Structure formats: C-alpha cells, structure tokens
Structure 1
Amino acid sequence: MTGSMEGRRSGGIPVVSYARTSEVFRQRDGHGVRHQLRINERTAREHGCLIVAEYTDNGRSASKDGAVRPGFECLVTALSSGYTNDGQAIQGVVCVAYDRLYRRPEDLARFFAALTRRPGRVYVDPQGVRDPHSPEELLRAVRSLEAAMTETRLRSRRVSDWHWARAVEGAPHSGPRPFGWQEDRLTLHPVEAALIRKAVTDRVGGRAVRAIAREWCELGVTGTRGGRPNAQTITQIMTAPRVCGYRANRGELLILPETGEPVLGRWDPVVTPEQWMAVCATFSPGNLYMHRGSAAPRRTTRTAAPSRLASGFLRCGAQLMNGDFCGGALCAQKGRNRRSPYAYACRSCRRCSISGPLADEALERLLFHEAPPHVLPSETTRRRWHDGMADTEKRRTIASVVTHCVVRPGVKGSHTWDHSRVEPVWREASPLAPAEERGERRVPRPGGHPEAGWKHAEPTGS
C-alpha cells in the first residue's frame, strides 16, 4: 500500500492501539490487556507503524446489550476526528483481532464508519496491513462478526449446560461463598447459619425484615463480600432454596423426573423444607428468590419503572487515572438539600454526580432549544410536555432525540448550576415519524436559540 511506504519513510504510520478482555470474575489485574498491547507493539513495529495512543477495556463484554466500553468510545471518537485527545494525528488502528473491537453489528457499523471517514486509513493486525475501504476487507469484517456471534451463542449454551448438569447432580452453586456456609460451600457456618435460622423463625412469627436487618447491623454482621445486610439481601437469603437443601437453576426448582421430588444438594441444610415454604409464604411472589434476577421468571406482570426522568440516559464523563473516560451509568439517589432533593451519581468510579433537578432541566433545554432539526420534537410535543405529559412518554421523547448524555464532573465548591455539564449525543435520525410524514412543516422559531431555531408548525391543509 502507498500509505504504508510513506509511513515507513516518515518513521511509521501513526496508529492507535486497542485491547479488550471480557473475563471479569477470576483475574482483575489487567494482564490480558497488557499482553494484547505488547502484541500490538510488535505488530506495529513489524509493519512500519507507530503507536501514538492506547485504548483499553479491561473486563468489558462486547456482546451484551447495554455494555459500556469507555476505551472503545474513545477509539471511535479519535478515529472520527482523526486526532487523539492530545492532538496527535492518526491514520489507523492496530489490534490483535476484529473480535476484540466488536461482537455486535452496531459496533461494527460505528467502527468502520469512523475508520473509513478519511481516505488512506489502515487496519493492522498480526496478519498484516489492510485497506478498510476495500469491499474485500468489509466482507472479511462481516464474516468475522458472524463467527464471533456464533462463538458467543455456543459459549453461552455451553456455560448454561454446564451449570444445569452441576445442578442436577446436586453440586453447590458456583461464585462467591453463600452466606451461611463455609468456604467448601457444603459445611454450615456456625454463626451465620444460626442467624439465618433465627431470621426464618422470626419472620414466620410476624417480624418485619427491616427489623431483622437492623439487628444484624447492630451485631456487626457483614455479607460474604463485606457488604452491610439490608432487607433485600436478607429476604433473598431466607427464600433461597439452598437453605432447606433444594437445588435450583436459573430461577426454577429442579425436579427429579423419576420421583417428582426436588433435587437435593450435597450441602448441609439450615432449615427444613416446611420452614422454608412457611417463610416464602410471608412474601409476595415478586420478592422471592425464585422470582428475582435477570434469568428468573417473574409471576407478576408489574415492571419496575425508572424513578427519575433522566435515569438511564446519563453517562459519567470523569477521566480515570489511565486517561480513559469512565462512561458508567449515573443512577438516581437521594439528595442532600432542598434545592436538590435527588441527584444522579456514578457508582462505577464515584467521581461524578449532578443535581437531579439540574440534569432534568438541562435535558429539557437540550430537547426543545438545542436539538438539531432532524430530531427536534414537534411544537405539539413541546406543549404537551409542559402541560403534564406522563413520565413514560417523556422518556420516549428523550430517547427519540438523544442516545445518551455525557455529564462532566462539576467544580468542587461551586454553587451555581452549569447546564453545559450535560453534553448530548444526538441520534442520527429520530425513531419517531418525521414532521413531513405527519403533515407538519418546519418554520423558524422566532427568538429561539440560533442553532436550534426550528419549530413544528401546525399541520398544513387544515
């Protein structure tokens, strides 16, 4: 390639290096991404490239919906602009394989759109330097995506089958040590098992779970991972089938087909099956262990709605020690004063929070005063919003305008509201029907924001 020869003569083609691992349960020391970065250095050196920046996602899945990858987001941003954060020009990316970059079609589309935004870009891996603009390379990328998606489905099925086979044999649950048992997951922990047994007896006798949680806190009890007990965790502990020796898998009690009896685990039970059924009867179905979690079926048709308007739309814009941006979701929580009775805070890095009313007000400004014309809500929607639109419809309106908003950390000690902290990521096209299809026409909004400057007029021909 011509670009490759020019790069060698000028000291190397400037590229960015990307590495990602998805294993988050066993080793968290980042050795996987370090190894990939070293391979990328060797690959770049062998093919006449010069790495000017590195982006990593340690323990981040690329196949799960809603997974946040700060390193990948920074990579796409850099490729789109052609420059890194410190202003260095880049002409491509080096990676150990395509499946480190993407495992979903939408990520492939975003990556290739950013990489091919300018001519002369290259993609480099241990197999060589390739032209991402060529149809052959795009076809190769699509094939690699199909292979990655197939591998993900097969691996998920193998893991699911492995857990089921262990459950049928009565093997204890994998993962962290369950509260009430020793490290072998078979022998009872004398202190914790006694606490569970007493909690079950108290609950059947009519005692509130919050009172049991307060008692455990006063005794200095902590969970197996160091957390303080609360009503939710104690409910989950008491209603788990394991406390009476039963084995469950993916939210279902396993039954022996020969006898119709529940599968018994190999561990020592804390209470009898009759006591377990009695304590479960004191809770509504939605609170039971058997009906909790993403994989467990729920008997109730009620779904938990977000408690605040901006929940799910805000992402943390704090910069981490390695230079990457956090990108974690900001969750609603109780505020500290009357002006901000609630706030949105990042639970990942805990370095960014914003007043709830400020964030909601900033979102409203973005929707109706700064949104680009192709996603700007109609004048009818704006009036209904201010006349008392339901929160669910408001959230649908927000989702039609922005994919999410990045919240920059505030200035410590500042008591003024800064709406510019909320930076929108606009949608390419609104999922709602365009104004022309609804019989509306766009006309300038008098006195409005010079960049927004649009409103929806009343339907024509009426």
Structure 2
Amino acid sequence: MKKMTAAAIYARISSDQTGEGLGVQRQLEDCRRLAKDRDWVIAGEYVDNDVSAYSGKPRLAYERMVGDIVERRIDAVLVYHLDRLTRRPVELEHFIDVCTVAGVDVTTVTGDVGLGNDNGLLIARITSAMAAAESGRKSARIRRKMLQNAQMGKPNGGANRPFGYESDRITIRDAEAAIIREVVSRYLDGESLNSLTRWMNEKAVPTSGVADSWSVRTLRPILISGRIAGLRDHHGKTVGPAVWPGIITPEQHETVLDTFASRHIERRPPHLYLLSGLLRCGRCGNTLVTTSPRGVRRYTCTRTPGSSGCGQLSINASMLEEFIAPAIVLRLESPEIGPVLVARAEPGQHPEQLGEVVRAQQAMLQLAAMLGAGELTRAEFLEARKAAAARHARAVKRLDRVAGIRLFDGWASEGAAHMSAWQQLPLARRREIARTVLTSAVVQPRPRGARVLDPTRVELVWAT
C-alpha cells in the first residue's frame, strides 16, 4: 500500500493591519489546493499572522513546525513562496539542515524553488539573500520616515493609545490628564512610584494598554516621557515640540527627570554586561535581565508582577558573551556592515561615499545572480567576489570616517576588526559597538543535560 505524504502548510504575513487574517487565508487556500492536486494529506497548518520573518522575533508556529519536522511527523512542507518561510539567510540554512536530516522536501505554490536538489538550494539561498537585502532597505526607509515624523512633531503609531490622550493621539482625554497631573505633583512631593501605582489600582484607574493593572513598569515610561509635556521623543531623546498639547509644562517635565535621576543614581550599578537589553527569551520573547546569583553573572528571563516573562530561562553571561563577541567582530569585517552605516548616515549627506557603498553592495548581489544563472563558474565567482568585497570594505571605511559614525575608530587597523584589539576596548565602547551592529539575540532554552553552550541556542538578529 502506498504511503501517504503527510504535508505541513506554513503561512505568514508580516503586517495584518485589519486584523482579519485575509492574507494568510489566501496562502492557506492555495497551499490546500496544491496538496489536493498532489494527493497529499495535510498533517497540520502552521500560521504566523502579523509576524515578520526578518525581525528575528519568535515565530511560534514556525518553531512548532520545525519541532514536528525534527520529530519526523512531517514528510513535506508546503508554502506559498519561499519568502513566507524566511527572509533571513542564517534561518534558511538552519531550516535546510533540519529538512535534510529529516528527509523533508519543501514545495512552493509559485513553483519558484524546491530544496530537494543542488540547483534548488542555490536558488533558495540567492532568493533569501536578496529578500534580506530588500528587507534591510525597507527597514532603513521606515527608520528614516520615523525620524522625519519625529522631527516634525507628529505622533507615532501603535496598537494602544497613549494614556492621557484620545485615539487620535493628539486630543487630551481630560479624566486621564487629571490623573497624570496628580501623579506628577505627588511624585515631585516625594511619593514613590510603588505607592502611586497602588493608589491608581485602588482607584481602579484603567490602563490604555493591554495590562490589567498598574505597575512601576507601566507608570514609569508615562511619567518620564516628553509626550505628556507636549514634546516629541525619538529613541528616548527629545527632538523638539510636538503637534499635540502638553498635559504638564516642559519645566515640570525637566523637574521630573531630575528627580528621577537623583532618586536612582545611588542605586544604579555599573554596567558589567556587554549584551544587556539586547537578549530575548526564546520561550516567551521577553527581554532578558542581568542578574548575579552567588556572584555569577547571568542573563535571565524573570517572572515578576507586571512583567510578561516566563521565568524559565537563564544563561551564563560570560559564556554567552565569549560566543557572541567574535561574531560581532566578524560582522564588522563582513560586507553586511555596509547597510548599517548607510542607514546611520544622515539622509542627503555624503552622497559620494554612500554611493560607493551602495554600488559595491549591488556588485556583490549581481555576482551572486550571475552564479545562479550559470554565467560564472564557482572559481570565477569567488575570485570576483574577493575583489568586490575588498572594494566594499574600503568604501565602508571611508563612509564610517566622513559620516562620523566611528565604528572602527581607535581600534581597527585599515578597517579590519580584530579580537585582540576588541578585548582591549573599554566595556562602554564595546557595548556601543554591539548596539550598533546587533539588533537583538534570541536565546533558546538549554537542552536537557547540556553543560556547554550549544551555538544553535543563539539566534543573532543583525542591524541592517
């Protein structure tokens, strides 16, 4: 009797602004039709709606599907297009490895690629690289648009309205504004944030977000934000006046910030962690915090009142930093650092140096396309890419210098980064560089019985 093929269907859309899931529904319908045409049994449907495949944020359905592939519950994967599966080359390579071991093939509705042969793998890798490049360019455009909006004082988007304002993010909501003014007054009179959150919960003041009750974690950002003073913040810094009216005065806002700093400056420990703020829990997506139980530095997912952490993941900080630091240095030496510098350069400034970097990037992409089309042999490709990469490195160094970004300043010789020089840098400088090139890192739970760091536990999400 012929064995039936058990197929998994994966569907994803990055942004579902209506919340109706119509994009993934169309993908599912097309994949179901293809499964029926091939007489395959659908073993499961895995859907990540409104989740980017480029950002590096956890995709729960995708991870569940990979787990089922590892457990040999799936014979084939159906997806509408390869970029629905992943837009990141490093993730594609991991997926290929998993499918190869399990003997699982991937079929797309568009028929653009299959992973069952060398040509299919080559095309998939080129497609993934170009999708990542396009996602990087799109991210840069969005960041620049957000900066422009901030400089014009316009409100940002988001699912939740800001507390104190109506859904248009401009009109003051009087009842909540009165609460904010009282909180500010009492805080400046010496009352603690813990006391103020208890008072707000006792009064049953509703939040404007998803939290059911108030906590220090939800109140603090409101209290110290420039928004309530009619100021526009961007990445934690005030960039100018906003188009909406303030609930308190700018002078009161400055007094709040000074008071907050004076109350916390004595308690703030020195920065001893390279990656604080950059790590996320692979179980729940929560940001890992720094801890030091029994004097051992660790990054930990904590579960406390008002937080969304699972409390089920902890990793040795020194071990993790020793693994990630060389990857950061290698990233600085790679062609992928070019888009980072392009994104950080001021729009409209340094057109000559920006043009050099962009042209060098395009040349390397063109070489990959020529290899895929059979216009170059592998030996010709490697030789040409070596020259293109050297040209790109020189262009990156010039842009870094003239744009004042200074990623390589004071420690890298001729634009090359080396571990020995990295280790001599002050921790503050290494933290600054890490935050420039690394958006985040997702840490997965430790396999049972493991005593050393498994590199597959850590997924690096690079800045683009």
Q: Which TM-score tier does this pair reach, normalised by the shorter chain?
A: 0.5 to 0.7
1:253 paired with 2:238, answer yes
98 and 249 in structure 1: CA distance in 2 versus 1, 3 angstrom threshold: same
Partner of 2:241: 264
- Is the contact made by 1:43 and 1:124 (CA closer than 8 Å) also made in structure 2? no
SS in 2 for 1:405: coil
The 2-side partners of 1:96 and 1:196 are apart by: 49
Partner of 2:69: 79
- Is the contact made by 1:47 and 1:129 (CA closer than 8 Å) also made in structure 2? no
The 2-side partners of 1:82 and 1:56 are apart by: 20
**Displacement after TM superposition at 1:313 (Å):** 6.8
Partner of 2:123: 140
Partner of 1:64: 55
1:162 paired with 2:145, answer yes
The 1-side partners of 2:321 and 2:144 are apart by: 38
- Is the contact made by 1:177 and 1:183 (CA closer than 8 Å) also made in structure 2? yes
The 1-side partners of 2:256 and 2:453 are apart by: 52
SS in 2 for 1:64: coil
The 1-side partners of 2:100 and 2:177 are apart by: 60
The 2-side partners of 1:286 and 1:106 are apart by: 44
What amino acid does structure 1 have at the position aligned with 2:445?
C
CA offsets 1:20-58 (integer angstroms, 9 cap, x no match): 22326x344444333211111123334554433322223
Q: In the alignment, which of 7, 15, 23 is matched to residue 23 of structure 1?
A: 15
What amino acid does structure 1 have at the position aligned with 2:248?
V
Identity of aligned residues (%): 24
Q: Bigger shift: 211-220 or 75-84?
A: 75-84
Q: In the alignment, which of 136, 157, 161 is matched to residue 174 of structure 1?
A: 157
CA offsets 1:379-423 (integer angstroms, 9 cap, x no match): xxxxxxxxxxxx644777999xxx7437xxxxxxxxxxxxxxx84
Q: In the alignment, which of 90, 97, 103 is matched to residue 87 of structure 2?
A: 103
What amino acid does structure 2 have at the position aligned with 1:23?
S
1:153 paired with 2:144, answer no
What amino acid does structure 1 have at the position aligned with 2:115?
P
The 2-side partners of 1:247 and 1:299 are apart by: 29
Partner of 2:43: 52
The 1-side partners of 2:450 and 2:64 are apart by: 14
Partner of 2:407: none
SS in 2 for 1:220: coil
The 2-side partners of 1:305 and 1:110 are apart by: 24
**Displacement after TM superposition at 1:221 (Å):** 0.9
What amino acid does structure 1 have at the position aligned with 2:189?
G
**Displacement after TM superposition at 1:184 (Å):** 2.6
SS in 1 for 2:45: strand
- Is the contact made by 1:170 and 1:247 (CA closer than 8 Å) also made in structure 2? yes
Partner of 1:450: none
Partner of 2:195: 211
SS in 2 for 1:159: helix
- Is the contact made by 2:13 and 2:84 (CA closer than 8 Å) also made in structure 1? yes
CA offsets 1:97-117 (integer angstroms, 9 cap, x no match): 111111222221121122233
**Displacement after TM superposition at 1:430 (Å):** 6.6
Q: Bigger shift: 140-149 or 213-222?
A: 213-222
277 and 302 in structure 1: CA distance in 2 versus 1, 3 angstrom threshold: farther
Partner of 1:284: 261
The 2-side partners of 1:353 and 1:271 are apart by: 37
Report the count of equivalent residues.
Answer: 324
- TM-score of the two chains, using structure 1 as the length reference: 0.58
The 2-side partners of 1:426 and 1:42 are apart by: 46
What amino acid does structure 1 have at the position aligned with 2:49?
N
What amino acid does structure 2 have at the position aligned with 1:128?
G
- Is the contact made by 2:81 and 2:110 (CA closer than 8 Å) also made in structure 1? no
232 and 11 in structure 1: CA distance in 2 versus 1, 3 angstrom threshold: closer
SS in 1 for 2:143: helix
SS in 2 for 1:34: helix
Q: In the alignment, which of 102, 114, 121 is matched to residue 98 of structure 2?
A: 114
- Is the contact made by 2:9 and 2:42 (CA closer than 8 Å) also made in structure 1? yes
The 2-side partners of 1:77 and 1:146 are apart by: 25
1:405 paired with 2:445, answer yes
- Is the contact made by 1:170 and 1:266 (CA closer than 8 Å) also made in structure 2? yes
| Bigger CA radius of gyration | 1
343 and 299 in structure 1: CA distance in 2 versus 1, 3 angstrom threshold: closer
1:274 paired with 2:258, answer no
SS in 2 for 1:144: helix
SS in 1 for 2:156: coil
**Displacement after TM superposition at 1:140 (Å):** 0.7
Partner of 1:236: 221
The 1-side partners of 2:72 and 2:43 are apart by: 12
Q: In the alignment, which of 90, 103, 106 is matched to residue 123 of structure 1?
A: 106
The 2-side partners of 1:155 and 1:207 are apart by: 45
- Is the contact made by 2:89 and 2:129 (CA closer than 8 Å) also made in structure 1? no
The 2-side partners of 1:95 and 1:286 are apart by: 54
Give the number of the structure with larger relative contact order, counting CA–CA contacts within 8 Å between residues 6 or more apart: 2
- Is the contact made by 1:122 and 1:130 (CA closer than 8 Å) also made in structure 2? no
The 2-side partners of 1:161 and 1:182 are apart by: 26
Partner of 1:187: 171
- Is the contact made by 2:6 and 2:73 (CA closer than 8 Å) also made in structure 1? no
Q: Bigger shift: 182-191 or 226-235?
A: 226-235
- Is the contact made by 1:11 and 1:50 (CA closer than 8 Å) also made in structure 2? no
**Displacement after TM superposition at 1:172 (Å):** 2.3
Q: In the alignment, which of 34, 58, 64 is matched to residue 25 of structure 2?
A: 34
The 2-side partners of 1:170 and 1:313 are apart by: 34
**Displacement after TM superposition at 1:168 (Å):** 2.3
- Is the contact made by 2:58 and 2:282 (CA closer than 8 Å) also made in structure 1? no
**Displacement after TM superposition at 1:125 (Å):** 1.6
The structure where helix makes up a greater share of residues is 2
The 1-side partners of 2:453 and 2:189 are apart by: 58
SS in 2 for 1:127: coil
